[in-house]
C-alpha cells in the first residue's frame, strides 16, 4: 500500500511539474508579444519610446514625416533607436517602416516622392518600377527597411475619400501590373514590400480613419476586382500584407477584415497562399477606436491571424490622450491574455517566428548602422529627382483643349486663381505627419510659372474683379487626407463662376489632383497632373511651355 501511495505522489508531482513547465513564462511572453507590435512616437525625441524598445522589446516602429526630416539627422535618429533595440530584451533589430507611396510620403520635402500611384497608373508599368526603386534607395539610406506600400486597392469608387491618388487606378488588371512592378522595384534594393489594404479599400465612400466602411459587392466581384491585385502581390513576393478595417458583407458580415479569421485565414492564407507577415492597419484609426476597446481588438486580431499590430501616431486634431500609456496598456492586456491561455502560445510563436524570419531574411542586423553622410548624398539627389519628374511627365493628360491654347505662347498674360478654399498646410500639420505631407501644389505652380518668365498675376477667388488677361488658369487641388476631405463641390462652383464672369477669356483648368471632375464643368481646356507633388507641378508647367507633350492615359473614368 505504501508503495502505491509513493507512486501516486510521484505521478502527481510529475504532472504538476509538467503543468508548470507548459505554462508560458512571463519573461518569454513579454519578449515574444513585444515583437508583435509596430508602434510609434511623436516628433524626434527618442526618450519617450526607448522604454518600449528596451523593456518591452517591440518589434518595430511606424515612422511618419513627423519623425523623419533632414536625411542626415534621420539616419542618426534611426541608428540610435536600433542600438537601443539590440541592447534591449529582444536583441533584435527593429522593423522600421513608413508610408512612402508617392501621394503619401515621408522625409518631405527632402525625398523624391514622385507623382503618386495614380499618376504612375497613367503610363507604362516600367515607370512604377523605376519610382519604387528610388523609394527603396532613399529609405534604405536612412535605415527605413520596410515600405508600407504598394497600395493594391482598386479605386473603383470615385467618391472614395482616402485612397484616391494613392491607388494605381480603377482597372484590376492594370493595378495588378503596377503592384508587381512596385514590389520588383522595392526588392531591387532590398526593401521589404507591403501590399495594402487587404482585401481592398478602393470601393468605399467612408474613410476608415473616421469610421468602419462597408463593402456590399458580390463575392464574384470581390474575387475578380478587389482580390486580384493582392493575388498578384503574393505571387510577386510581397513580404507583408496589411489588413483593412473594412466589413466585407459577402465574406464576413460581422467583423472588419482586421478581426476576421475568415478573411485572414480562409482567403489570405489558404486561397491566396500567403505565407508572409500579416500586419494590421493602424489601431489608432477611428474605425477601431470608436467601435472597440483597442486592447481587446488587438487580442481578436491576433486570434484572427494577424502577426503584427500597428499603432501609428495619428491625431487628426483630436486629443488621443497619453499615447505611450495606451500602447503600454495594449501590451499588458495581450501579455495577460497569453498567460491566461486566451491566446495560445502556439499562435504567438507562429507570429513571432514569421517576424524573426523576415528580419533575418533581409539581414537587418548586417545593415546597421547606416551612414548619415551617405544618406544625405542619396536622398533627393539629381538622378532621383529626374526619375520622379520623368514619371510625372509620362502621366500628363489633356482631356480637351477646345481653343488649341496649349502650349501657351510666351507673350501670354496669365491670371492664376486658386479654387480650393481650405488651408491645406494646416490640415496636414494637424494629422501629425501622416498622409501627403505636401501642401504647396498651388503656390509651387505659381513659382514655376514665373520661373518660365510668363507674365503671371495671382488672384484670390474672392477678389471683386479678376482682370481679363489673355488666359485664366484655375488651379484645382485635392489630397488623400486622413480624416479630412477638401470641398470639391466648392471648387467646381468657383470654376463655373469664373466662366460666367469672364466670357470670351480662355479658361484652363489645371487639376493638381485626380481626373474625376474632368467632364463636370467643361472650361476651354482641362489639364490633369493626376497628383499634387512637386514633380506633378513641374510636369504641368513643362506641358504648358511646350517642353513635353501629353501622353498619359486616365487610369480612372471621369464622372459624367
Quote the cell numbers at residue 331: 501590451
The C-alpha atoms of residue 238 and residue 240 are separated, in whole angstroms, by 6
Phi-psi region of 91 (alpha: psi -120 to 50; beta: other; left: phi over 0): left
Q: For residues 442 and 532, is the Cβ–Cβ distance under 8 A?
A: no
Q: Phi and psi for 214 in degrees, rounded to 5?
A: -130, 135
Q: For residues 39 and 52, is the Cβ–Cβ distance under 8 A?
A: yes
DSSP 152: -
205: Cβ contacts below 8 Å, ≥ 6 apart: 157, 159, 160, 161, 213
Phi-psi region of 430 (alpha: psi -120 to 50; beta: other; left: phi over 0): alpha
Task: Tell me the three-class secondary structure of 364-390, residue by residue.
Answer: CHHHCCCCHHHHHHHCCCHHHHHHHHH
Quote the cell numbers at residue 537: 507641378
Active site residue ranges: 209, 281
Nearest by Cα to 436 from 424, 446, 451: 424
Quote the cell numbers at residue 151: 497600395
CA dist 111 to 77, 101, 114, 435, 537, Å?
A: 17, 12, 9, 15, 16
Q: Phi and psi for 554 in degrees, rounded to 5?
A: -55, 125
- Exposure string for 273-282, b = 16+ CB within 10 A, e = fewer: ebebbbbbbb
The C-alpha atoms of residue 283 and residue 314 are separated, in whole angstroms, by 9
Nearest by Cα to 305 from 337, 272, 329, 277: 277
Return the residue matching grid coordinates 497619453.
Answer: 322
The C-alpha atoms of residue 414 and residue 421 are separated, in whole angstroms, by 21
Q: CA 378, 381, 386 angle in degrees (round to 5)?
A: 135
Quote the cell numbers at residue 430: 494637424
The C-alpha atoms of residue 60 and residue 38 are separated, in whole angstroms, by 4
Neighbours of 361 (CB within 10 A): 11
Neighbours of 28 (CB within 10 A): 14
The C-alpha atoms of residue 33 and residue 299 are separated, in whole angstroms, by 11
DSSP 46: G
The C-alpha atoms of residue 395 and residue 411 are separated, in whole angstroms, by 27
Amino acid at each position: 500500500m505504501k508503495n502505491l501511495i509513493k507512486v501516486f505522489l510521484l505521478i502527481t508531482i510529475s504532472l504538476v511539474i509538467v503543468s508548470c513547465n507548459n505554462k508560458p513564462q512571463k519573461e518569454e511572453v513579454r519578449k515574444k508579444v513585444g515583437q508583435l507590435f509596430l508602434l510609434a512616437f511623436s516628433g524626434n525625441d527618442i526618450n519617450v519610446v526607448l522604454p518600449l524598445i528596451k523593456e518591452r522589446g517591440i518589434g518595430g516602429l511606424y515612422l511618419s514625416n513627423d519623425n523623419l526630416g533632414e536625411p542626415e539627422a534621420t539616419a542618426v535618429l534611426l541608428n540610435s533607436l536600433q542600438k537601443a533595440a539590440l541592447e534591449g530584451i529582444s536583441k533584435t533589430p527593429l522593423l522600421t517602416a513608413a508610408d512612402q507611396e508617392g501621394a503619401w510620403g515621408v522625409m518631405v520635402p527632402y525625398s523624391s516622392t514622385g507623382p503618386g500611384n495614380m499618376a504612375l497608373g497613367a503610363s507604362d508599368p516600367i515607370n512604377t518600377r523605376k519610382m519604387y526603386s528610388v523609394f527603396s534607395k532613399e529609405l534604405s539610406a536612412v535605415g527605413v527597411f520596410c515600405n508600407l506600400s504598394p497600395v493594391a486597392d482598386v479605386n473603383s469608387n470615385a467618391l472614395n475619400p482616402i485612397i484616391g491618388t494613392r491607388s494605381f487606378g480603377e482597372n484590376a488588371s492594370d493595378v495588378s501590373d503596377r503592384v508587381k512592378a512596385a514590389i520588383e522595384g522595392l526588392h531591387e534594393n532590398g526593401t521589404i514590400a507591403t501590399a495594402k489594404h487587404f482585401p481592398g479599400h478602393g470601393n468605399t465612400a467612408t474613410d476608415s480613419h473616421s469610421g468602419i466602411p462597408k463593402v456590399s459587392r458580390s463575392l464574384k466581384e470581390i474575387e475578380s476586382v478587389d482580390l486580384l491585385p493582392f493575388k498578384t502581390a503574393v505571387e510577386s513576393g510581397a513580404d507583408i500584407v496589411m489588413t483593412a478595417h473594412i466589413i466585407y458583407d459577402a465574406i464576413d458580415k460581422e467583423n472588419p477584415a482586421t478581426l476576421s479569421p475568415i478573411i485572414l485565414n480562409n482567403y489570405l492564407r489558404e486561397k491566396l497562399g500567403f505565407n508572409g507577415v500579416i500586419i494590421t492597419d493602424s489601431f489608432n484609426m477611428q474605425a477601431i477606436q470608436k467601435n472597440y476597446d483597442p486592447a481587446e481588438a488587438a487580442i481578436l486580431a491576433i486570434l484572427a491571424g494577424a502577426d503584427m499590430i500597428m499603432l501609428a501616431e495619428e491625431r487628426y486634431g483630436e486629443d488621443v490622450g497619453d499615447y505611450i500609456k495606451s500602447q503600454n496598456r495594449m501590451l499588458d492586456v495581450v501579455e495577460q491574455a497569453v498567460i491566461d491561455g486566451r491566446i495560445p502560445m502556439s499562435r504567438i510563436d507562429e507570429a513571432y517566428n514569421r517576424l524573426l524570419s523576415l528580419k533575418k531574411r533581409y539581414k537587418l542586423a548586417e545593415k546597421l548602422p547606416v551612414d548619415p553622410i551617405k544618406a544625405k548624398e542619396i536622398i533627393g539627389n539629381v538622378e532621383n529627382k529626374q526619375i520622379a519628374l520623368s514619371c510625372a511627365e509620362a502621366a500628363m493628360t489633356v482631356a480637351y483643349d477646345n481653343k488649341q491654347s496649349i502650349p501657351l505662347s510666351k507673350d501670354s498674360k496669365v491670371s492664376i486663381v486658386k479654387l480650393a478654399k481650405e488651408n491645406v498646410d494646416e490640415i496636414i500639420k494637424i494629422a501629425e505627419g501622416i498622409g501627403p505631407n505636401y501642401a504647396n501644389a498651388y503656390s509651387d505652380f505659381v513659382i514655376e510659372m514665373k520661373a518660365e518668365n510668363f507674365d503671371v498675376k495671382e488672384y484670390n477667388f474672392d477678389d471683386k474683379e479678376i482682370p481679363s488677361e489673355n488666359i485664366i488658369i484655375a488651379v484645382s487641388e485635392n489630397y488623400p487626407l486622413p480624416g479630412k476631405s477638401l470641398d470639391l463641390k466648392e471648387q467646381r462652383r468657383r470654376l463655373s463662376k469664373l466662366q460666367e464672369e469672364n466670357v470670351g477669356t480662355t479658361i484652363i483648368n489645371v487639376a493638381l489632383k485626380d481626373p474625376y471632375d474632368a467632364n463636370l464643368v467643361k472650361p476651354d481646356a482641362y489639364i490633369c497632373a493626376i497628383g499634387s507633388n512637386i514633380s506633378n507641378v513641374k510636369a504641368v508647367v513643362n506641358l504648358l511651355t511646350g517642353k513635353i507633350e501629353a501622353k498619359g492615359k486616365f487610369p480612372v473614368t471621369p464622372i459624367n
